[in-house]
Every structure is written in structure tokens, then in C-alpha cells.
Amino acid sequence: MTECGVTALQAKPSLLSQEGIVRIVNKRSHRTLGYYISARYEDKIAETLEQIEREEKLEKLRQIRALNETEWSEAGVEDGIE
């Protein structure tokens, strides 16, 4: 995997087509912005990407459920008993 800075990509966008997998970084803030994966590798990693997406969706649903449960417990539910 090759590491490439944002300014290098702006100056020469063809760098992405020359490499198979590229990590795109912001060298000023020392942060990884993302990854570029060539289409020729897509079929090899498609299953892994789908699994990661499923796990991310499940985690978001868990967070939403936890927030909803917290809201209901704070608001109180009228049970009809006086």
C-alpha cells in the first residue's frame, strides 16, 4: 500500500490509477483521510467491505436504541394507574 498526500494528488491525479491501494493522508495534520482501492481488487475485498458495513449499521442501531430507551425512561410512560 502506498501513502499519498492531498497536495500530491491535486498536482498529479493519475497517481491513483497507477497504484492498486493508496492511503490518502493530510500530511499537515498527520491524519488519514481515507483509502483508494482500485476496481481490480474490488471482487477480492467486497465480502470484507460488506461485513464492515453491516457491523457499522448494527452499531448505529444499538446507539439509537440506547438513546430511545433513555428518552422513554426519562419522559416516563403513563401506565393508566392513578
pLDDT digits (tens, 9 = 90+) for 7-30: 888 888 888 878 788 888 988 888
Which of the pair, 52 or 2, is modelled with greater confidence?
52
Q: Tell me the average pLDDT across 33-55.
A: 86
Quote the pLDDT of residue 71. 66
Evaluate whether 3 touches 9 at the Cβ level (below 8 Å).
no
Q: With the C-alpha atoms ordered 2, 8, 12, 16, is the resulting torsion angle positive or negative?
A: positive
